[in-house]
Amino acid sequence: MTHFIYLVRHGEHQDAEHGLVDGPLSPRGQRQASLIADRLSGMPLSAVWHSPLLRATETARMVAERMPAITPQASSLLFDCVPSGMSPETPAVYEPFFGAVTDAEIEAGRAQMADAVSEFLVRRTGEVHELVITHNFVISWFVREVLGAPEWRWMTLNQAHCGLTVIAQKQGRPWTLLTHNDLAHLPFELRTGLPETHPV
């Protein structure tokens, strides 16, 4: 028996190009969400969790349209956040990014992700398939956690809009990364959200 978690970054949102925090899915984001929904429609999902932000909520709604038996559930543990700050081990190249982030934001993000790991990366009984629709940094933190990598390594991981990352745990074994940022369901013109340099 295996516990699978399908991690999906939300689709592109309309205000992304203007630097605004949130907004509805753009027409391109709607196409991205439709295609990831098609890809996941055959999965025996037992739960769909999503960030309460509009772009993640709308992505989850489009997935749920293909699976009427599933009701998406919002979780505040999946909000967009910055999960850690500069440390002695963090490469200096990332300092400019943290110049725009307050200590309070980092503290809140760290606490949120500690709770998220305790909530989601817990072995369920039986064969379980869960979908989590959230944000780039949150998925990066989950992947870093599964790999047991140093805290700052989340900054070296990126997910495209509606990219698919799968982690899994068999009974009595550690979590395993099965696939990361799989974009096979997206044509080239819909592969957005990957910065040229990270973070931006």
**Residue whose token pair is 């140093």:** 150
Kindly tell me the sign of the dihedral angle through the C-alpha atoms of 110, 116, 197, 177. positive
Task: With CA atoms as reference, report the closest residue to 37 among 164, 179, 177.
Answer: 164
Take residue 63 and report the two structure tokens written for it.
């997935």
Establish if 45 belongs to a structural domain: yes
- How many structural domains is the chain composed of? 1
pLDDT attached to residue 189: 95
Establish if 1 belongs to a structural domain: no
Establish if 198 belongs to a structural domain: no
Establish if 199 belongs to a structural domain: no
Establish if 196 belongs to a structural domain: no
pLDDT attached to residue 19: 55
Establish if 5 belongs to a structural domain: no
121: containing domain: 13-190
Residue 103: DSSP 8-state: H
Establish if 4 belongs to a structural domain: no
pTM, full prediction: 0.93
Give me the CATH number covering residue 87.
Answer: 3.40.50.1240
Residues 199/98, Cβ–Cβ less than 8 Å: no
pLDDT attached to residue 18: 53
Residues 116/130, Cβ–Cβ less than 8 Å: no
Establish if 159 belongs to a structural domain: yes
pLDDT attached to residue 168: 97
Give me the tens of pLDDT residue by residue for the chain, a chain 200 residues long.
899 999 999 999 986 555 556 789 999 999 999 999 999 998 999 999 999 999 999 999 999 998 888 899 999 999 999 999 999 999 999 999 999 899 999 999 999 999 999 999 998 888 999 999 999 999 999 999 999 999 999 999 999 999 999 999 998 899 999 999 999 999 999 999 997 644 43
Residues 44/129, Cβ–Cβ less than 8 Å: yes
pLDDT attached to residue 16: 52
